[in-house]
Structure 1
Amino acid sequence: MSKAKAPNPDFLNGVPELLVLRLLSRRPMHGYGVVRAIKDASGAQFDFGEGCIYPILHRLERSGLLAAVRERVGNRTRIVYTVTADGLARLERSASSWAQVVAAVNRVLQGGTDGEPSVA
């Protein structure tokens, strides 16, 4: 009997956008390439389907954070996305915010600075 694959965790709000921007900052890709790259780069821990990624690509393009160019491949065309300067700025802000969240969660999980859970 095979183990069912767990869905992507609910706490990942905003993470797909961050991953899309990071991967596209490394090289231009078409939408399905982004889907595959996220899965591959995460060791299959994240499996965001096209229904998740394409709306993000379209929203980021409308916002001026991505640029899109139609490319002809054989008898088909596909849209290839690249990150704009504004997209790079957004990526840096988002990555910094995410690093702060991860650090804060790790502090709580490890028991705060004095070994006991931190209390506000």
Structure 2
Amino acid sequence: MANRTSNPPFLNGVPELLILRLLARRPMYGYELVQAIKLATGNELEFSEGCVYPILHRLEGDKLLTASELSVGARKRIVYQTTAAGRKRLEESTSTWKRISSAINLALGGAEHGTATVAR
């Protein structure tokens, strides 16, 4: 993998999709979620806590996540999990992602995948 300083700019919306997917599997706290995204994407995507926490707070405000405090030794962690509305958003976002990525793959494949050429 080539060295990169950040994720490609066309990934808008991807952090939310991944956060909802991972939290639908099991509750997690923020830093744990950052690491889970990295692991789940084979180290291809890496979103900082500065990216993840604002999304978590927005999703909680939109009632797509709930947050609860968990004591771990002397530390307190905020653990997030999806709500029914969050799981519904995940289904919708996943469906949209699959449709769009399929269309992009088709376009990137060009004529070899049966696309027509545009007459000039």
Give the TM-score taking structure 2 as reference length: 0.91
| C-alpha separation in 2, matches of 1:118 and 1:27 | 47
Describe the shift of the 1:77–1:99 C-alpha distance in structure 2 as closer, same or farther (beyond 3 A): same
Match of 1:87 in 2: 86
Q: Does 1:67 align with 2:66?
A: yes
2: CA distance between counterparts of 1:55 and 1:42?
21
Q: Tell me the distance in 2 between the aligned counterparts of 1:6 and 1:102.
A: 24
Q: Could you tell me how far apart the structure 2 residues matched to 1:28 and 1:45 are?
A: 23
SS state at 2:79 partner:
strand
Runs (4+) of structure 1 exceeding 4 A deviation are 115-119
Higher helix share: 2
> Displacement, 1:115?
4.5
- Contact 1:28/1:82 (CA < 8 Å) preserved in 2? yes
CA distance 1:118–1:71, change in 2 (3 Å): farther
**Displacement of 1:7:** 1.5
CA contact (8 A) 2:107 2:115 kept: no
* Percent identity over paired residues: 53
Q: Residue by residue, what CA displacement relative to the aligned partner does 1:31-90 show, whole Å, maximum 9, x if unpaired?
A: 001100000110110010000000000000000000000000000100000100000000
Correspondence for 2:24: 25
Q: Normalising to structure 1: TM-score of the pair?
A: 0.91
Count of aligned pairs between the two proteins: 117
In structure 1, list runs of 5 or more residues that go unmatched: none
Aligned pair 1:100/2:99, yes or no? Answer: yes
Looking at structure 2, the residues matched to 111 and 118 of structure 1 have their Cα atoms a distance apart, in angstroms, of: 11
1:11 corresponding residue in structure 2: 10
